[in-house]
């Protein structure tokens, strides 16, 4: 089939909820992917931060295939090996005590907010349920995670939205103090707002919010769905901030390409989440967890050091390109703000034509390359961006 045939069939039968690039991808290897017309692309999107090891890492493929041929699903009524192994690895790596497995970032955030409300209910009784989130945040598309998402554009059509949410502008501690009430049970925040434009929070702000929350037993949920699993150069992004979260949600990069979400909880929070409080049929699926176990195994301290080195090289190169005003974000979560009059969407399309896949976030160009990129990949991407921007 050709790109055109794939696209036309899709448009006829798949709901049009996405603005999609007009190419159909057929197969990939490492940093590269080929479309149905045989054109090859260098991929700086990693499926929006999902393919941490690039396309079809051989060890990942072997583990997933082996597990699919051994035992593909059991339900959570039984124990399996890959799920427990992943939970153990995540707890040892992060210092958290328990993990709940879901299938996506939105679900991980639902689980995080449920766990926070349950803790508050068990500890303080009814009425202390408010979740405070940041303006410009993104937490997912289910009703509660969409309600928590602090962007007006998402708060149309689907109402009534959930009660018990409040919003406060990022990096404004005075505003935060005015937003929290005795009914506040949790604060949810991304250390780098991804969909919101790749904006890192101020360290001082996070530190102050952290101190206030611990003093008032307001739980801190850090949404690491996009920032986690090495993306920012540390295993979790919050390690670079002065914050001790009670709950962390993970998803995107954890499975290396298969759907997974995870809620990391301290014992204090986990103890309220007993039998019957939460669940999902597919959570902890053995095939998905087998893939995630490979990601976890490969994400060594050396690999994280390499991510930091690659990120520094990429960022230094980007800062020198024409029309670039600011390079934002952390590690390999990169936002590029252009001078006025330069549209990120146009840059994206021009890069795509020249064989480089990029993303946008709000008005910025966004790069989320697989964590395995090489110096040659960086050079090639910078060259294409330079050609595109020089022509504008």
Ligand X SMILES: *Cc1c(COP(=O)(O)O)cnc(C)c1O
Catalytic annotation, residues: 138, 223, 252
Tell whether omega for the bond before 160 is within 30 degrees of 0, i.e. cis.
Answer: yes
| Closer by beta carbon to ligand X, 35 or else 223 | 223
Q: In the bound complex, what is the minimum distance in angstroms from residue 252's beta carbon to ligand X?
A: 6
In 3D, which of 298, 303, 372 has the Cα closest to residue 59? Answer: 298
Binding piece for ligand X, criterion CB under 6 A, among 53-61, 91-99, 135-143, 279-287: 135-143
Among 45, 67, 104, 293, binds ligand X (CB under 6 A): 104
Q: Is 109 helix (H, G, I), strand (E, B) or coil?
A: helix
For 339, the token pair is 């001078």
Among 55, 129, 138, 154, binds ligand X (CB under 6 A): 138
Q: In the bound complex, what is the minimum distance in angstroms from residue 172's beta carbon to ligand X?
A: 20
Q: Is 251 in the site for ligand X (CB under 6 A)?
A: yes
Q: Is 233 in the site for ligand X (CB under 6 A)?
A: no
Q: What is the spatial distance between Cα 295 and Cα 172, in angstroms, rounded to a whole number? A: 36
> Judged by CB under 6 A, how many residues of this single chain contact ligand X?
15
Q: In the bound complex, what is the minimum distance in angstroms from residue 112's beta carbon to ligand X?
A: 10
Q: In the bound complex, what is the minimum distance in angstroms from residue 336's beta carbon to ligand X?
A: 18
In 3D, which of 301, 249, 243 has the Cα closest to residue 113? Answer: 249
CB-based closest residue to ligand X: 105
For helices 375-390 and 301-319, the axis angle rounded to 10 degrees is 20
Name the strand (E) or helix (H) holding 350. helix 344-353
| 33-52 footprint of ligand X as x/- string (CB under 6 A) | --------------------
Report strand pairing: 364-367 vs 359-361: antiparallel
Q: What is the spatial distance between Cα 44 and Cα 357, in angstroms, rounded to a whole number? A: 5
Give 42-71 as a DSSP string.
EESSHHHHT-TT-B--HHHHHHHHHHHHH-
Among 94, 112, 168, 226, binds ligand X (CB under 6 A): 226
Residue pair 168/176 in contact by the 8 Å Cβ criterion: yes
Among 24, 106, 264, 269, binds ligand X (CB under 6 A): 106
| 170-209 footprint of ligand X as x/- string (CB under 6 A) | --------------------x---xx--------------
Chain contacts with ligand X (rule: CB under 6 A): 104-106, 109, 138-140, 190, 194-195, 223, 225-226, 251-252
């Amino acid at each position: 089939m050709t790109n055109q045939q794939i696209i036309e069939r899709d448009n006829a039968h798949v709901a049009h909820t996405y603005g999609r690039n007009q190419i159909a991808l057929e197969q990939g290897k490492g940093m590269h992917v080929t479309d149905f017309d045989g054109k090859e692309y260098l991929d700086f999107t990693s499926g929006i931060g999902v393919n941490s090891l690039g396309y079809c890492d051989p060890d990942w493929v072997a583990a997933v295939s082996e597990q699919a041929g051994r035992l593909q699903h059991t339900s959570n009524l039984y124990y399996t090996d890959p799920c427990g192994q992943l939970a153990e690895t995540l707890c040892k790596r992060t210092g958290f005590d328990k993990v709940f497995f879901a299938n996506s970032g939105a679900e991980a955030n639902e689980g995080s907010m449920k766990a926070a409300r349950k803790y508050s209910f068990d500890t303080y009784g009814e009425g202390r349920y408010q979740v405070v989130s940041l303006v410009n945040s993104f937490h997912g598309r289910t009703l509660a995670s969409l309600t928590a998402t602090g962007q007006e554009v998402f708060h149309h059509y689907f109402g009534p939205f959930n009660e018990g949410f409040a919003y406060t502008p990022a990096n404004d501690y005075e505003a935060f103090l005015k937003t929290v009430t005795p009914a506040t049970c949790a604060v949810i925040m991304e250390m780098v707002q991804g969909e919101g434009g790749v904006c890192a929070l101020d360290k001082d702000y996070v530190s102050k919010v952290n101190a206030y929350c611990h003093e008032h037993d307001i739980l801190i949920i850090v949404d690491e769905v996009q920032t986690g699993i090495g993306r920012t150069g540390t295993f979790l992004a919050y390690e670079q901030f002065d914050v001790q979260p009670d709950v962390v949600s993970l998803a995107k990069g954890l499975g290396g390409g298969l759907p997974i979400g995870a809620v990391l909880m301290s014992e204090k929070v986990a103890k309220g989440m007993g039998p019957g409080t939460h669940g999902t049929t597919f959570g902890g699926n053995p095939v998905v967890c087998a893939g995630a176990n490979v990601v976890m195994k490969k994400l060594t301290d050396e690999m994280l050091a390499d991510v930091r080195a690659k990120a520094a090289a990429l960022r230094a190169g980007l800062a020198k390109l024409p029309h670039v005003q600011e390079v934002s974000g952390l590690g390999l979560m990169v936002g590029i703000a252009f001078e006025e009059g330069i549209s990120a969407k146009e840059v994206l399309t021009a890069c795509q034509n020249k064989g480089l896949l990029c993303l946008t976030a709000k008005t910025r160009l966004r790069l989320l390359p697989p964590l395995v990129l090489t110096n040659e990949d960086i050079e090639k991407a910078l060259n294409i961006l330079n050609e595109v921007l020089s022509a504008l």
